[in-house]
Amino acid sequence: MRVNLGGAPPGRHSASACDRAPDLAPAPLGADLGATPPRVRMSRVPGEPLRGEVTGDRLDALETALRTLWDVPADALPPRRFAVPEVWEVVGARFASAVRPPGLAGEAFDAARGLFAEPAPEAPSTGVGHGDPNLAIHLWDGARVRLVDFEDAGASDPAHELGTLVEHLSTRATDRAGFLARFDVDPGRLLARFDVDPGRLLALLRLRATG
């Protein structure tokens, strides 16, 4: 398997997980740093992608895999892709340059623009976050869950990662509220994750405007 790394340090994210949590993630086997973009050859990870409703042993294994990853110290890793400061910068710039729509959508637009004009919330980094909430990158082999595709990974915290995971469309058939209840995370940080997500922001603001 070859992984397109873009601007990330070649193999660094997956290597951190491999070093501190053996057999959780692919191991870098070689690299072609002269390619455009640079490429790293990774070990093959057994298992089938998680899909549909995740329950029972599969849900327990998913929890174990995530806890194991989040316990890996971030050390000197850069932030995961689209961490809160990057969301504030990128999405704020889009709202600042966008054309205001009419009606209720315009009111939501104004609220969003005002939100992103404020300083970004604090975003503590306590460990390694994967950065990709799609269940399909979590591989179930019948006994445990492993993770692949670490090109968006980096320093993060469980609340940010959980918020990203449970709002992803791939988890819609799973008991997301029950899964969240398994973790002791700061409710404020979890709420902040929902508030800053660009895909849901306008919908949330419309609900607030009509409530």
Angle, alpha carbons 129-62-136 (nearest 5°): 75
Q: Where are the domains of the chain?
A: 46-210
Cα separation, 83 vs 36, whole angstroms: 25
Q: What is the CATH number of domain 46-210?
A: 3.90.1200.10
How confident is the model at residue 143, as a pLDDT?
96
165: number of CA atoms within 13 Å, CB side?
Answer: 25
Q: How far does Cα 16 stand from its chain's mean position?
A: 17
Give tens-digit pLDDT for 125-157.
888 999 899 999 999 999 999 999 888 888 888
Exposure b/e, 67-88, CB count within 10 A at least 16 = b: ebbbebebeebbbbbbbbeebb
Q: How much is the average pLDDT of 45-60?
A: 96
Percent of the chain with pLDDT over 70: 78
Q: What is the pLDDT of residues 65-76, one digit of tens each?
A: 999 999 988 877
Q: What is the mean pLDDT of residues 178-199?
A: 68
At 17 the pLDDT is: 59
* Residue range 188-194: mean pLDDT, rounded: 58
pLDDT tens-digit readout, 66-119:
999 999 888 778 888 888 888 888 888 888 888 898 888 888 888 888 888 888
Average pLDDT of 9-21? 56
Nearest to 166 by CA among 149, 183, 151, 153: 183
Q: What is the mean pLDDT of residues 174-195?
A: 75
Least confident of 37-46, 119-128, 148-157: 119-128
Read off the pLDDT of residues 54-65 as tens digits, 9 standing for 90 and up: 999 999 999 999
Residue 147 is predicted with a pLDDT of 94
